[in-house]
A and B are shown apart, each in its own frame.
Chain A
Amino acid sequence: MSNTDAPRLRLSILAVVAIALFASLFARLYDLQIVGSPEYQVQAEANRVRTVQVEAPRGRVLDRNGKVIVDNRVAVVVAVDRTEYEDLDEDHQTMLVARLSQELTAAGQPVTPEEIVERLGDDRYSRYAPVPIVHDVPEQLKIYIEEHPEEFPAVEVERTAVREYPYGQLAAHILGYVGQINEDELSYVEAVKGDKPYTLNDHIGKSGVERTFEQYLRGTPGERRIEVDANGDPVRVIEESAPRAGDDLVLAVDIDLQALAEQKVRQGLEQARARRQTGDEPNNGVTGSAVVLDPRNGQVFALASYPTFAPTAFVDGIDAGEWAYLNDPANHYPLYNWAIQGQWAPGSTYKLFTSYAGLKSGMRGIDETYNDQGGYAIPGCTGAKCYRQNAGGAAHGNVDVRRALTVSSDAYYYSLGAQFWIQRDSFGGETAMQQYLRPWGIGDETGIALTGERPGRVPDAPWKRSYCESIGCGDPVWRAGDNVNMAVGQGDVLVTPLQLANGYATLANGGTRYVPLIALRTLDARSGETTHSFEPEVGDTVDLPGDIRQAIVDGLSGVPHPGGTAASAFSGFPLDTWPVAGKTGTAQVDGKADTALFSAFGPVADPRYQVTVVLEESGFGGTAAAPVARSLFDVLSGTVPKPVAGPGGAIPDTGAPQQAAGTYD
């Protein structure tokens, strides 16, 4: 190191080190600013911008004739700006919360200071939009708060749209209700995030069409993009898009007909309760439902369920007392839509399907008669229940399928059911009869776009085995007696009123089983133009030869005529010009009065309406259910002018269903 080149060499080393350091900085900057830049730009944008949603009004719900069933109303919302609230010192915060609680409670919106504090502390509310405390306070309070900003720092009053129901409780089960989104729903809709994202503040359809057509009814939220600084404090609004109202929904329902159906079901139940009890148990008339369908396409004209509720109670959250009432078993679950959620033994209304099984399988000829001697002894049976008597006890003599339907001969069907089991090896095995019953839609949801539909049940041997295994019943073996029970709609078979209606509609239209159609189309809220059409959808088809259909229709056509089981209910009805085909049913229930059923369609030549009525704990089908259906047919046939539902859902009384004599069938 002592030669004279050493200093020069050492300076060169210093230069090399410096060059290496600069080069590595250049390389890193190239990596960061050229190669990695897009990713960092995304992160910088996320740092800078917060997005706040502005809720859009939901679409309205209209009936098939354009009458508004669900509307929007302007309501006043009291909200607290969290950023401003947090700027207050602790004493002022406490004072404000106490004052607010006091004023809101006085204005009829009880809320405790603790609830307000809890809301303000909920991180799921956006920091950049006021936290709503209560919806719907009187206009005077809004004015008072606005005029006294010094008393209510950080408090904001805004207008918002809430649901309004011009027809009161009418069609409550179809419409359903809306409420503030809960955590389950929020996590669900976040998982399926679309172009209408939700925030905790938002309302969502909870049941009925409000829920099933949520994607159309929900408006597109407006978006406010806010630039925030490093502390998250807003600096300025970058851009704002206005909220867009959701689409209006046009139902297939005729609100006037719906009003009529609800009125008649209620009256029918009142009459049933007033009647002398028919069996051992009193007619309690606890629940009832009526369905009116268009057999040609499955459109639902009316879907009544009793008891009912007021959807308006759910606006701004239902109070605890009301909620408890609606869920008390003693009140028979007003929130249940019994037309699709109630499952009952169908009784003799089931004979339509059993008839088809007998004729289609070739077990019985169309014109083949059976000698009804008032009862039937199950062949090869030993035990207590081997002889089954006709429900009414009467012997109907030689009956073919037509007459068996008209007079509701049980023995005809008892024998049919027994033979299906005895000869099962030649007719398709242990589910020989069931295979002809299922295509009618029994045992499966109809697929109507409403919430909570139940599937009903078509029992068979495999079902009985597994069912008995699960509950440990005594006899897991399917026997001829089970077939005998099911043939007349008793035993373990269950249907919903809508399933029954849809089965009869399938016969009416010649074998096409539609998915009941509750809504027809959606309309753009501003232009009124159709944005989406809901077309009739075929659920299944029944292989229904013309002669078999004709024989069954003939049999059902006799029911409202003298000698038929619904003759009394239809006395005075213009059957000559507007013929009706239907079937009564009286289903026995252990420890309760019978379920009254009636399902019919008309006019027979070109069926346009299908009406099904089911009244629980109400007695004979011909006595309780058929008169309710008849009073609907009065209007459907034009015999009685259609009443128009007024504000609040009231309609003029067209007279209670006529008192009818009926028989056990």
Chain B
Amino acid sequence: MARVPFDLGASRRGRSRLESPFRLPDEPRIGRREGNLFGRKTVSAWRHVDLMLIVCAGAVSALGALMILSSTRGTDPDAYDLSFLHRQLLYVGIGVVAMVLVTLVDYRRLGDFAWLPYALVLIMLGLVVSSLGTERRGAQAWFQIGEFQLQPAEFAKVAVIFALAVLLARFEPPMGLPPLALGLVLLGVPAGLIMLQPDLGTTLVFVGIAMGVLLIGGAKVRHIVVLTALGVIVVVGVLNSDVLADYQRDRLTVFLDQDQGLREETYNLNQSKIAVGSGGTTGKGLFEGTQTRLGNVPEQHTDFIFTALGEELGFAGSATLLGLFALMSLRVWRTAQIAGDRLGTLICAGVLSMLVFQIFQNVGMTVGIMPITGIPLPFMSYGGSSVIASWLALGLVLNVHMRRFD
């Protein structure tokens, strides 16, 4: 295998372990490692932290905060609304703290307790579709807690990645039917609960995660092919069933025929494309986007946050953001490659799948190449659950990265 020039930390110290970057463990190591909070090991592990990944995530969060301000401050210069910005900054702060906390304990040790967050989100997902949950935009996906809303599905993604990685790391490839079936059940239960809300977008993210983790976990090619075919059948089945409300189905399929006049379903997509397209090469300038300032794009500070960036900073801004996301993805991928064990690799594969799928799905829908589904753009979109869950996932990857030598 060729030298990979991206691992700045490794090459700087001249301690490359490229001769065996992807070390298959002889036996599962869950719970075998020692490590104490704030002990010598944690401090030394932080010396190997992937700064580039943190810088990228921070930069995306900063861009997100700017765009949230731009799309929510309103049109009255005497009374700009800064509340969304303030809350988003708070969420980012909480997210960064959560990320740090996750890095403190060796992921192999954490893996022993992977069932805990998994069980927790399962309970929350069960409760959110009960009368305790709050419905918004046709999906019962939130708990209203004071002025905050908690969206368990966002946390479920991270919890499921972790639990799935822990499960599959116990089995040696090639993956037989029993681990595959177990993994699918582990994924399928929360995904099914989310589908009840219904939130097709997040369910699809689970499909993306499943494909990525099963691929890296060593699933047989024929199993992957069969699962893909099953997935297509299920999606077509869902679209033709009563699970989705009509308007949700319309939102999904509208991108297939974008010139069908000014129907309500095309409005969102049209306004979104106008915003991004009118940004041009360098954009209209920060706070100068007319589509953004005048509120022409519905849900712009949440799912359609990319349109604000596209309009105000143009192709230059969009390309920069995608560049940052690409760099992040590369770092996560690299971490998967150099991880100290199979568990680390699988965690990174899951986070990478989630990240790339959400970026492609979210940006793709704003420019009309993917169906409109309500999923946020990681680190960018307004919303506490999404922001905190994104930083949590990042924490897992950092944890794997900084303990790659252990």
Q: Which of B133-141, B190-198, B288-296 contacts A (4 or more CB under 8 A)?
A: B288-296
Q: Which chain A residues lie closer than 8 Å to B281 at the CB level?
A: 33-34, 37
Residue A470, interface by CB 8 Å: no
Q: Which chain B residues lie closer than 8 Å to A47 at the CB level?
A: 271, 274, 290-291, 294, 296
Q: Which of B284-302 contact A (CB under 8 A)?
A: 290-291, 294-296
B337: nearest chain-A partner, CB-CB: A11
Residue A6, interface by CB 8 Å: yes
Q: Which of B325-350 contact A (CB under 8 A)?
A: 325-326, 329, 333, 336-337, 345, 349
Residue B367, interface by CB 8 Å: yes
Contact (Cβ within 8 A) A48 B318:
no
Q: Which chain A residues lie closer than 8 Å to B329 at the CB level?
A: 18, 22
Contact (Cβ within 8 A) B333 A32:
no
Other-chain contact of B290, A1, A22, A48 (Cβ < 8 Å): A48
Contact (Cβ within 8 A) B173 A13:
no
Q: Which chain A residues lie closer than 8 Å to B75 at the CB level?
A: 229, 235-236
Contact (Cβ within 8 A) B276 A33:
yes
Residue B216, interface by CB 8 Å: yes
Residue A44, interface by CB 8 Å: yes
Q: Which chain A residues lie closer than 8 Å to B322 at the CB level?
A: 22, 25-26, 29
A48: nearest chain-B partner, CB-CB: B290
A21: nearest chain-B partner, CB-CB: B360
B314: nearest chain-A partner, CB-CB: A33
C-alpha gap A228/B290 in the complex (Å): 10
Q: Which chain A residues lie closer than 8 Å to B315 at the CB level?
A: 29-30, 33-34
Q: Which of B218, B356, B364, B368 has the most CB of A within 10 A?
A: B356
C-alpha gap A8/B325 in the complex (Å): 23
Residue A527, interface by CB 8 Å: no
Contact (Cβ within 8 A) B326 A22:
yes
Q: Which chain A residues lie closer than 8 Å to B271 at the CB level?
A: 47, 230
Known contacts A40-B278, A41-B280; A14/B290 CB under 8 A: no
Q: Which of B24-72 contact A (CB under 8 A)?
A: 24
Contact (Cβ within 8 A) A28 B367:
yes
Known contacts A10-B216, A229-B75; A18/B352 CB under 8 A: yes
Contact (Cβ within 8 A) B290 A33:
no
Contact (Cβ within 8 A) A33 B216:
no
B356: nearest chain-A partner, CB-CB: A18
Residue B201, interface by CB 8 Å: no
B78 CB, min distance to chain A CBs, angstroms: 12
A19: nearest chain-B partner, CB-CB: B326
Q: Which chain A residues lie closer than 8 Å to B221 at the CB level?
A: 1
Known contacts A14-B215, A14-B352, A227-B294; A39/B277 CB under 8 A: yes
Q: Which chain B residues lie closer than 8 Å to A229 at the CB level?
A: 75, 294-296
Contact (Cβ within 8 A) B353 A14:
yes
Considering the complex of A and B, which 3 residue pairs feature the smallest CB-CB distances, nearest first? A40-B277, A44-B278, A33-B315
- B residues engaging A (CB < 8 A)? 1, 22, 24, 75, 173-174, 212, 215-216, 218, 220-221, 271, 273-281, 290-291, 294-296, 310-311, 314-315, 318-319, 322, 325-326, 329, 333, 336-337, 345, 349, 352-353, 356, 359-360, 363-364, 367-369
Q: A11-B333, A36-B277 are in contact. List 19 more A-B contacts (CB 8 A).
A: A1-B174, A7-B345, A11-B22, A21-B356, A22-B325, A22-B359, A24-B369, A28-B367, A28-B368, A29-B322, A30-B315, A33-B281, A40-B278, A43-B274, A44-B274, A44-B311, A47-B294, A48-B291, A227-B294
* 26 examples of A-B residue contacts, CB within 8 angstroms: A2-B174, A7-B173, A7-B216, A10-B216, A10-B218, A14-B215, A14-B216, A15-B333, A18-B329, A18-B333, A21-B360, A22-B325, A24-B360, A25-B367, A29-B315, A29-B319, A33-B276, A33-B310, A33-B314, A33-B318, A34-B281, A36-B277, A37-B278, A44-B291, A229-B294, A235-B294
